[in-house]
Amino acid sequence: MGKFLIFGGGGKVARHFARLASAEGHQVVSVVRNDTHSADLKSLGAIPAVLSLEDAGVPDITNLLAQHRPDAVIFAAGAGGKGDKSRTRKVDYEGAVKVFDALESANTKRLVLVSSTDTRKRDGPYPAHYNEESKKQSDKVWETIPEYMQAKYDADVELHRRKAIQFTVVRPGWLTEEPAKGAQAGITQIEKTSRELVAKALLFLAQEPKAAGLTIDLMDGDNDLASELHRVVEEQTDAWTG
């Protein structure tokens, strides 16, 4: 069984992850910025660890990784485009970069990062596969939460520079509370994604080293999630456009 450490441990995706991974016998360390979620996380089978990405330095995060020695790290932290704009930048970009630096310092190789649909340069054309609805959704998401989208994109760009990190980026669509059902993965249109589906994908990908280097769009769909992800990995389908 594996050992996983997840940043953003109090979030909805991370709580699904803790429950699912613990049920399979894995050990999960859920990193939260305060102890508000500790009892809840323990009930899900996780080990809470308190560390604020806004306040912690790289040595603090490095020490946390050295203490727990996870097989893979999951970055699911995020301000969600809500609240103060500066906090979004501090968590979604600066916090992510601190984790990248700490991974390199601690010699922890494997990272699965939750990003967002449509993280890309905005001064170029739409991705060639986008239909008219996806173009509308692209404009909508960048207009609705621009600071969040820019922070996520900048973090993705920085991660692609880090050759020592074996990373996989998961890009869900508009997140919902619906139970996980079918999926579509790889290079997709912009649609909705169940948070539970994201968590299931994270658990799969954290145990799949051949997914390293890939950016994977993940939406609700009609196909079996594991089959979709197996296909993406075998075909080395990469949704990243830079």
161, containing H or E segment: helix 146-161
Q: Vertex 180, ends 169 and 33: CA angle to 5°?
A: 55
Q: Are 165 and 104 in contact (CB under 8 A)?
A: yes
The rounded distance, in Å, linking the Cα atoms of 188 and 26 is: 30
Q: What is the DSSP letter of 94?
A: I
Distance in angstroms between the alpha carbons of the first and the last residue of the chain: 35
What is the pairing mode between strands 215-221 and 166-172? parallel
Q: Chain centroid to CA 81: how far?
A: 15
Residue 193, token pair as written in the block: 């994604």
Q: What is the DSSP letter of 120?
A: S
> How many angstroms separate the Cα of 71 from the Cα of each of 47, 55, 208?
15, 25, 11
pLDDT tens for each residue of 104-153: 999 999 999 999 999 999 988 999 999 999 999 999 999 999 999 999 99
A 10 A CB-CB count for 39 gives 9
Q: Does residue 204 surpass a pLDDT of 70?
A: yes
pTM of the model: 0.95
Q: What is the pLDDT, as a whole number, of residue 1? A: 86
pLDDT tens for each residue of 55-97: 999 999 999 999 999 999 999 998 765 567 778 899 999 999 9
